[in-house]
Amino acid sequence: MKFFKIFLLAGLLSSCTHDFSDTNTNENNPTNVTPDLLLSGVIKNMMSNQVNTAWGIGNIVAQHHAKIQFVNEDRYLWGEQNGVWDDVYNNYRNLQNIFTAVGADSTNPYLGVSLVLKSWMFALATDTYGDVPYSEAGRAKLEGKYQPKYDDQESIYAGILADLKRANSYLAKSGTTLDGDILYGGGANAILKWRKLANSLRLRYLLRLSKRKDVSAEMAEMLSNPSSYPVFTDNADNAELKYLSAAPNQWPLYDARVGSFDEFRVSKTLSDRLTTLNDPRLKVFGRPSQRSVAANAPKIEGIPNGLSDVNALAYNGGVQGVSRVGYTFACLVCNDIGQAAPDPAAPRALIMTYAELQFTLAEARERNMITVGDAATYYNNGITANFSYWKSIVPSQYGIDVTMPANYLTQATVAYTGTQAEKLAKIALQKWVAYYFNGLEAWFDWRRTGMPEIVPGPSNLNNNQVPVRFIYPQKEQSLNGGNRGDAVKRQGADNLNTRMWIAK
């Protein structure tokens, strides 16, 4: 009997131990995720957020779009704009998990690709806010650093450029097994494209840095050795996320409410400039006003930025006299009378394009920062590439002809002629057009050059100044107040008009 009791107890203990093990293991909540799954999530999240940032404020401050109601963004009553901050630091946690998984193995392609993404993400953060957590960011889990210091922007840019250089060299010798790459598709061909992105981004940031430092030697090193530093060579290299026709991987604005979508309209700045250029890309960016269509005289009519709510709604006789944003970018129910629903897979999210790179090289050559190539050729290549890009994006059923007119490059308003100042202004204008719907990039480039001109609207609430940065998230005052305070002392007042180091 005694033996039976001991046997029964042992059996029960064994059974309980087994049950506890099963109960405490949630197979639907893994503790480790493989790099391929993490990579696809970071790309998808960051690039769709890039679209939303462009829509919510980037296209507004660059004056590609304007608003007809709820016009605070257009009047520079911004308050907190935390989207970029949250996007970067939330997604950086998953990049950190990739770094932890691959360690120091420089032959692992996930290391090089993750360094490219990290560089782009922190460039967004520092270009938006100025000094931000960088060297100690993402170390809470492994090192218990819950209050990371804010690095100065000069140091951040040095880190970004160094990481892009490392990424290129790592990927040059890496393996080719790269799953989860929803940007370039994975495999050997994708590795080369990631290298091209690393080097093209490096040229973007070197030009941005050129206001503060002489970057000509670094640019020359890269451009004199294309086999070691490959860059974008055509639109096939564009860093663009292609969407699908089925949810949930559709164009991020596709499920927007029509009322919310229609708050945003074509800016008069955009419509006037492209009309002057006889530029058919305007038909991609906007639709003829409904009033002009009803009068059988279709015309794209923009609205000035920075009007008051009352004046914006009343402009040009009311909303029927103001053009809606282009059909290519519309929501499911944002079609005009007689139109089918738009294609949810047509538009793309962008990091960088071949056209932008060509305009970057055109400016660098015009400023004698590089000696390779011809500024006019780079400039014309950029325009041609952007026309070709939009021609490939717009669905044929929309009936929009985006073919570049035969005389486009030779007309006085476009031809690469004039003084150096006039040439640089033409580069800046065409680059501004090519930045359409690319996050905050048009704003960042305007902040560096002051071109093309952005004039605050008549009802702006920022003393006739175009903002040059976002304020820090207010949650940082309680979560990381000391380090935030140090950054403010170093950088200047935490407001929209304090120029960060790179823009001084």
pLDDT tens, position by position, 103-135 = 999 999 999 999 999 999 999 999 999 999 999
Q: What is the DSSP letter of 336?
A: P
Residue 363 lies in domain: 35-252+346-456+464-503
321 within some domain: no
**Confidence (pLDDT) at 142:** 82
Residues 6+ apart with CB under 8 A from 211: 448, 502, 503, 504
Residue 226: asked if its preceding bond is cis (omega within 30°), the reply is no
237 within some domain: yes
Check: CB of residue 439 under 8 Å from CB of residue 55: no
Among 136-140, 220-224, 473-477, 500-504, name the one with the lowest average pLDDT: 136-140
Check: CB of residue 321 under 8 Å from CB of residue 302: no
| Angle (nearest 5°) at CA 402 between 396 and 404 | 145
95 within some domain: yes
For residue 397, give the CATH number of its domain: 1.25.40.390
Check: CB of residue 181 under 8 Å from CB of residue 39: yes
Q: What is the DSSP letter of 211?
A: T
Structurally, the chain folds into a number of domains equal to: 1
13 within some domain: no
27 within some domain: no
Burial of 284 (0-12, 13-18, 19+ CB in 10 A): buried
20 within some domain: no
330 within some domain: no
319 within some domain: no
**Confidence (pLDDT) at 33:** 85
Q: At 248, is the pLDDT very low, low, confident or very high (cuts 50, 70, 90)?
A: confident
32 token code pair: 């480790």
Per-residue pLDDT for 21 more than 60? no
Q: How far is it between the farthest Cα atoms of the chain?
A: 108
**Calpha distance 187→416 (Å, rounded):** 40
Burial of 368 (0-12, 13-18, 19+ CB in 10 A): exposed
Q: At 327, is the pLDDT very low, low, confident or very high (cuts 50, 70, 90)?
A: very high
71-80 b/e with 16+ CB inside 10 Å = b? bebbbbebee
Burial of 227 (0-12, 13-18, 19+ CB in 10 A): exposed
Rounded to two decimals, the pTM is: 0.94
Mean pLDDT score of the chain? 94
Which residue has 């079609």 as its token pair?
Answer: 335
16 token code pair: 């309980």
